[in-house]
């Protein structure tokens, strides 16, 4: 189940009213994982956009649709709205671990403690997208996109460190779309407009 705080409900209700389209629902999806944890997508959809495998959460004020894959990692999460000097907007407090697979957990730890601090000093970041059969699928972001030296960082940096620190990893595959700043590996599975962006 996903919980929604009263403040978040009020904000969402106000945004829905501004849309002037009765019967809207909120769709929450996990797009992937980034340096700060899960990456979420929130958007309004029509009621008929509900898919067969969606989990539907009725908050009393509106309905939330969550696809099956995202729901796996959203159980017990709370959708809140925060307003402060340094941070304001919707926030999801998610108790689920970023990865359940132990190899992926190890890779994530190496990214968090060794790789990303170094890459961040060059304005970039590395996100783990998945680990399958000894292959780590990663995405490079920030200053890495369009950088001429990204192949050196990948081949002589990330790949070397990951293989050394996590012997189960035999290959590292860059899934970044360096072309357009988009990630082709994970695509949002459902459509919808987002006033939250």
How far is the CA of 90 from the CAs of 4, 84, 130, 180, in angstroms? 10, 12, 26, 27
Q: Please report whether residue 39 would count as binding other proteins according to CB under 8 A.
A: no
Least separation in angstroms between CB 178 and other proteins = 7
∠ Cα 182 79 35 (to 5°): 40
Least distance from other proteins to the Cβ atom of residue 169, Å: 14
| # residues near other proteins by CB under 8 A | 26
Minimum gap (Å) between residue 128 Cβ and other proteins: 16
Q: How many residues does the chain have?
A: 197
| Window 104 to 133, contacts with other proteins (CB under 8 A) | 115, 118-119, 121-122, 124
Q: What is the CA radius of gyration of the chain?
A: 19
**Which segments of the chain are extended strands (E)?**
3-4, 25-34, 37-45, 55-58, 63-66, 78-83, 88-93, 124-132, 135-142, 171-174
Nearer to other proteins among residue 20 and residue 121 (C-beta): 121
Per-residue string for binding with other proteins, 158-187, x by CB under 8 A? Answer: x-xx----------------xxxxx-----
Which residues of this protein are in contact with other proteins, per CB under 8 A?
A: 115, 118-119, 121-122, 124, 145-153, 155-158, 160-161, 178-182
């Amino acid at each position: 189940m996903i919980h929604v705080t009263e403040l978040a409900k009020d904000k969402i209700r106000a945004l829905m009213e501004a849309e002037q389209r009765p019967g809207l629902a909120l769709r929450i999806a996990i797009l992937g994982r980034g340096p700060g944890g899960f990456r979420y997508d929130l958007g309004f959809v029509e009621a008929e956009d509900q898919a067969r495998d969606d989990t539907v959460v009725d908050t009393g004020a509106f309905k939330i649709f969550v696809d099956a894959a995202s729901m796996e990692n959203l159980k017990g999460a709370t959708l809140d709205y925060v307003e402060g000097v340094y941070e304001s907007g919707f926030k999801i407090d998610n108790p689920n671990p970023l990865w359940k697979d132990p190899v992926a957990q190890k890779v994530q730890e190496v990214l968090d403690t060794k790789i990303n601090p170094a890459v961040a000093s060059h304005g970039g970041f590395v996100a783990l997208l998945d680990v399958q059969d000894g292959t780590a699928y990663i995405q490079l972001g920030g200053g890495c996109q369009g950088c001429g030296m990204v192949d050196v960082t990948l081949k002589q940096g990330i790949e070397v460190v990951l293989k050394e620190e996590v012997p189960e990893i035999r290959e590292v595959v860059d899934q970044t779309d360096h072309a357009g700043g988009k990630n082709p590996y994970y695509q949002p599975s459902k459509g919808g407009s987002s006033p939250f962006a």
